[in-house]
Amino acid sequence: MKKAFSLLAVLIFLLSLGFFYKIFVQDYEEEAIYPSSVTLIIPPKMSAKAIGILLEKEGVIPSGKIFYWSVRLRGFGNQLRSGEYRFPELRSLESVIEKLCRGDIVYHRLTLAEGLTSREIKLLLQAEEKLQGDVADTILEGSLLPETYTFFRGESRQNIISQMQIALRKTLSELWERYKDKTPLRSKEEVVILASIVEKETALEKERPHIAAVFLNRLKKDMPLQTDPTVIYAFEHIDRKPFDRTLTRDDLKVDSPYNTYLIRGLPPTPICHPGKASLEAVLNPLISEDLFFVADGTGGHVFSKTYKEHSQNHSQWRKIRKKKLHLP
């Protein structure tokens, strides 16, 4: 009788051991193909048991209880991290737990284009629902580097601003150290101001060194820059709203330190946030004697050294514009 009881005990032990091995070792490591990937958010301070229930409910794993005991037996209970996670179609319990322990959360991308103003950047950040928090009331024009930035759900909007500020300082310092002995500009601040004008004048990266050369040549000759984007910014600065109409001749008379038709030299601040290409174009411009440029009707510009040539080019542009607008 004792022998039979002992054999039964051994059998129960072996069956339990086999069950334990299958559930907590074999099933833990075994990968399965699920119908689809799953993206979900693990809230902060959620317990391992609650996480297991959530994962089972969302179809990430077959059993929340097995998840809980697997985590507990392996001592991972305090290592599970909150955040937004994406679990692929091919996954195992092991890969799910490892992802949660690593904090391998989903990162999103936000592209902030070159040439945006502080107001426009604030609006874009406020429109991104995955971010949270407010943005500082005052963001100095030209203090941010437009680029594509990554962020996680719930990250603060102000943190994106901080990343952009750090990126601008780093990029500008590197470019300044490389070109400072070659530029007539006296400071990094002047570089950003002129780069912001170049940024607004052309969307073609290949043109930026040429546009920069024209403005630098005009500065050397103490000629007013006479650039429309600064006048547009002057109105936006005065009216505190976007300039949404065509610039007129009378507009060029607006009394503003940003009106480069009236002032000589650079305006007091940048008029937008320039990108790296415009910053480098200002510090490393094309070698040219050109003093003028006008639109060519194809998105680019025609450059000239003399006012006579410029007048001819401008006349040609007016003809192109009339044709496009079907004017008499």
Phi/psi at 109 (nearest 5 deg)?
-115, 140
Q: What number is the average pLDDT over the span 212-228?
A: 97
Say what the pLDDT of residue 22 is. 52
- Would 315 be classed as within a structural domain? yes
pTM summary value: 0.84
pLDDT beyond 80 at 54? yes
| Position 6 pLDDT exceeds 70 | no
Q: Is the pLDDT of residue 15 over 50?
A: no
Q: What is the mean pLDDT of residues 47-55?
A: 96
The mean pLDDT of 203-228, rounded to a whole number, is 96
* Same domain for 240 and 221: yes
For residue 223, the SS3 value is: coil
What pLDDT is recorded for position 14?
A: 45
Residue 96's pLDDT is 95
Q: Does 156 share its domain with 220?
A: no
CATH classification at residue 87: 3.30.1490.480
Whether 19 maps to a domain, the answer reads: no
| Residue ranges in the chain assigned as alpha helix (H) | 2-21, 27-29, 48-57, 64-73, 93-102, 118-127, 157-179, 188-201, 208-220, 228-239, 276-283, 307-325
Q: Are 89 and 34 in contact (CB under 8 A)?
A: yes
Q: How much of the chain, in percent, has pLDDT values that exceed 70? A: 89
34 in a domain, yes or no? yes
The confidence score (pLDDT) of residue 18 equals 47
Task: Indicate if 154 and 203 belong to the same structural domain.
Answer: no
Residue 125 lies in a domain: yes
Q: Does 82 reside within a domain?
A: yes
Query: Residue 313: which pLDDT band, with cuts at 50, 70 and 90?
Result: confident
Both 310 and 276 in a single domain? yes
| Domains held by the chain: number | 3
The verdict on 87 and 33 lying in the same domain is yes
Domain range enclosing 75: 29-102
The whole-angstrom separation of Cα 235 and Cα 121 is: 19
Same domain, 87 and 128: no
Q: Give the 3-state secondary structure of residue 74.
A: coil
Confidence of residue 1 (pLDDT cuts 50, 70, 90): low
Residue 298's pLDDT is 81
Asked which of 102, 126, 147 is the last residue of a domain, the reply is 102
Question: In this structure, are strands 90-91 and 83-87 parallel, antiparallel, or unpaired?
Answer: unpaired
In a domain, residue 173? The reply is: no
Same domain assignment for residues 293 and 238: yes
Average pLDDT over residues 260-272: 97
Q: Would you say residue 132 lies in a domain? A: yes
DSSP assignment of 17-59 equals HHHHHIIIIIHHH--EE-SS-EEEEE-TT--HHHHHHHHHHTT
Mean pLDDT for the stretch of residues 62-68: 92
In this structure, are 47 and 120 located in the same domain? no
Same domain, residue pair 89 and 225: no
Q: Give 27's pLDDT tier (boundaries 50, 70, 90).
A: low
Instruction: Among 84, 102, 120, identify where a domain stops.
Output: 102
- In this structure, is residue 191 part of a structural domain? yes
Contacts of 91 (CB under 8 A, 6+ apart): 31, 32, 34, 60
Domain end position, chosen among 102, 121, 139 = 102
In this prediction, residue 319 has a pLDDT band, given cuts at 50, 70 and 90, of confident
Residues 112 and 97 in one domain: no
233-253 pLDDT per residue, tens: 999 988 878 888 888 999 999
| Mean pLDDT, the chain, integer | 89
What percent of the chain shows pLDDT beyond 90? 71
Q: Are residues 282 and 216 in the same domain?
A: yes
With beta carbons less than 8 A apart as the criterion, state whether 230 and 271 touch. yes
